[in-house]
Structure 1
Amino acid sequence: MKKRIIMSILGVMTGAVSVAIFKMAAFGVDPFQSFMSGISKLIPISFGTLYVIVNAVLLTFSLIFDRHYIGIATFINLFLLGYVTEYSYKFLQWVVPEPSMPLRIAFLIVGIVIICIGSSLYITADLGVSTYDAVALIMANKWKIGKFKFIRVCTDLCCVILGTVMFIAGGGHIKEIPTIAGIGTIITAFFMGPLIEFFNVHLARKILSSNSDTQAGEHKI
């Protein structure tokens, strides 16, 4: 249990920092954050507070259809991720006010890798997942609609489309769209699901299975 808790906390905090790194890259954020950017354009309140509100709504979905995915990590994600992202981004902006193109590319690559590692760690820890991750997991494992990686691609694409529409509706300039729905968003939309599964198999499950009695709770996604 101690190892699971550490994996959950580390996974959520890593994911929060990765979103800030995506923003520094300015090539588009991950699909859910693209959705959040669209909403924040329509509702001008603190990102951290808005993140809590949106995820509280998604939490209701999980409570109705499968409470198994609600746990410690869910509430860490719900109450801390938005604020950690907000302040991590401010810190990175202070350290690197105007990143060069090579540095932006480096930010993009690092952001993609660590957001997938972070998601893999807290999903495999089985102490709850983010309310957004729970949507695809419920569809895959409870509703048996299809494999997680394919369902995740579909939900990610829906987030990107809705986020872009809301961003424009909220007064966002078309030239700003690549910063919330750019090449980075496209990469994560199509590859984040498969990459999370890759890190589940080659990293997270191996960390967890180093103790023989901790294997029972792993997700098969």
Structure 2
Amino acid sequence: MYLFKRITMAFCGVILCGFCVGMLQKANLGVDPFTCFVTGIANIFSSTYSTFYLILTGILLGVVLILKKHYIGIATVINLFLTGVAADAMHHLLDVLVPTPGLAMRCGLMLVAIVCTCFAAALYFTADLGVSAYDAIALIAAYKYRLLPFKYCRIITDGLCVLTGFLFNVTLGVGTVITALFMGPLTQWFRTHFAEPLLAHNQHSVA
């Protein structure tokens, strides 16, 4: 039963992350830091986002397997195959419901997406059944090498991604800046105040 709870948390977290990507795309106020990074690297080689997403994700997966393969698991697979599907589904739904959203609606979508992304990340981080290759980098820095608390490691990795994108002609938006600055701390807050107590309660109940 405890494992089922973890799998459910991981699945819900990954799918919710995908929905949030679709919301950010619809808001059109700036992409997330990793998308910014991939786009910037693709610009260097005059290639496509999808090509370098696969290349860079593959490289990061290799690094994670060497440093801490514990972070590669079922949630990693779910992330790989279902995040894009969930994002496309949400974007299509919003296209139907609000074909031409005004600025207020776009800002609302952006803020909801950022908060829900942090909540979703807290769920599947805490489930401890694998994370995306990019997410694993900050987790490894924080929990394997203990360089800094996770929230600061995440700010640094997000900041480097945004800087790379900026240097290589990626248009930044307010959503990019907000995500880079606040995703780490807000994700940690949700882990501490919701996800970890929820999992601990479930474990205690089973015991």
Alignment map for 1:1-221 (pairs within 5 Å): 1-39=3-41, 42-44=46-48, 47=50, 51-166=53-168, 168=169, 177=171, 181-213=172-204
Structure 1 portions without partners, runs of 5+: 216-221
SS in 1 for 2:201: coil
Q: How many residues align?
A: 202
User: For 1:42-63, what per-residue CA distance to the aligned partner results, in whole angstroms no more than 9, with x for missing partners?
Assistant: 4336x4x754443222111110
Quickly say closer, same or farther: Cα 1:145–1:33, change in 2 above 3 A.
Answer: same
- Conservation of the 8 A alpha-carbon contact between 1:55 and 1:78: no
Q: Deviations over 1:113-150 (max 9, x none)?
A: 11001100000000011111100111111122111111
* Gapped regions of structure 2 (runs ≥ 5): none
TM-score (norm 1): 0.83
CA RMSD of aligned residues (A): 2.2
* 1:8 Cα offset (Å): 0.4
Write the distance in 2 (CA, Å) between the matches of 1:104 and 1:10: 24
* Structure 2 counterpart of 1:218: none
Name the CA distance, whole Å, in 2 between partners of 1:212 and 1:73: 20
Q: Greater CA deviation, 182-191 or 27-36?
A: 27-36
Q: Deviations over 1:88-129 (max 9, x none)?
A: 324423432211011011101111111001100000000011
The TM-score, its normalising length taken from structure 2, stands at 0.88
- Identity percentage over the alignment? 43
Distance 1:214 1:36 in 2: 43
Q: Take 1:36 and 1:89, find their aligned partners in 2: how far apart are those partners?
A: 21
